[in-house]
């Protein structure tokens, strides 16, 4: 099942633009915030195998990468060890190896959570994705674009994106997914300060 939220990235984008080159992009930020969120909502950093739930200490973040021959989900092992800049460097290197067909077998195993982004297709707002077993959840990130937002009673154009978290109802419930989105918002707000 699925829970969707809309997130305002306007202030975060300005902060990213103020960072030195090479500066992280919004996808790097979403990966970083997701890892921070999973540390606070460990129920979703888990796998369900042979009828047993395993919660993992380390976040092994799989990133869906589109190639001409299909989709692969290479894994950024120990993503919780990295700063925003570290995640940027590591995930970009992993994505490059994926597109250049230079992955090692270990690059495709051990994921505890996956992010799938279709933001390059501007018509995609919220969307849902199928969980990669044995993981118990996956995050879908829609297009970041300007939308009308009401702030203090007035309309403003803000860059927002819809994030949808899918969960395996055998082991997690709707409140856990909703809490993931609420904590993601707190992490986004903290970064944006």
Q: Which residues are catalytic?
A: 169
In whole angstroms, give the CA distance from residue 17 to residue 179: 29
What is the helix, strand, coil percentage profile of the chain, to 5?
Answer: 35, 30, 35
Q: What is the phi/psi pair of residue 171, to 5°?
A: -130, -15
DSSP structural state of residue 85: H
In whole angstroms, give the CA distance from residue 46 to residue 81: 17
In whole angstroms, give the CA distance from residue 97 to residue 65: 11
């Amino acid at each position: 099942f699925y829970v969707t939220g809309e997130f305002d990235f306007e202030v975060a984008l300005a902060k990213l633009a103020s960072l030195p080159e090479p500066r992280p992009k919004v996808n790097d930020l979403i990966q970083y915030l997701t890892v921070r969120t999973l540390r606070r909502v460990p129920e979703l950093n888990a796998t369900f195998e042979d009828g047993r739930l395993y919660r993992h200490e380390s976040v092994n973040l799989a990133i869906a990468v589109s190639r001409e021959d299909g989709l692969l989900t290479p894994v950024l092992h120990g993503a919780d060890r990295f700063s925003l800049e570290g995640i940027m460097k590591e995930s970009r290197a992993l994505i490059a190896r994926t597109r250049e067909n230079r992955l090692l077998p270990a690059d495709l195993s051990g994921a505890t959570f996956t992010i799938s982004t279709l933001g390059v297709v501007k018509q995609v707002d919220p969307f849902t994705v199928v969980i990669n077993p044995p993981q118990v959840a996956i995050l879908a990130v829609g297009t970041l674009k300007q939308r009308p937002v009401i702030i203090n009673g007035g309309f403003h154009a803000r860059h927002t994106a819809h994030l949808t978290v899918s969960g395996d109802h055998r082991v997690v419930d709707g409140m856990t997914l909703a809490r993931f989105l609420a904590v993601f918002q707190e992490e986004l707000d903290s970064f944006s300060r």
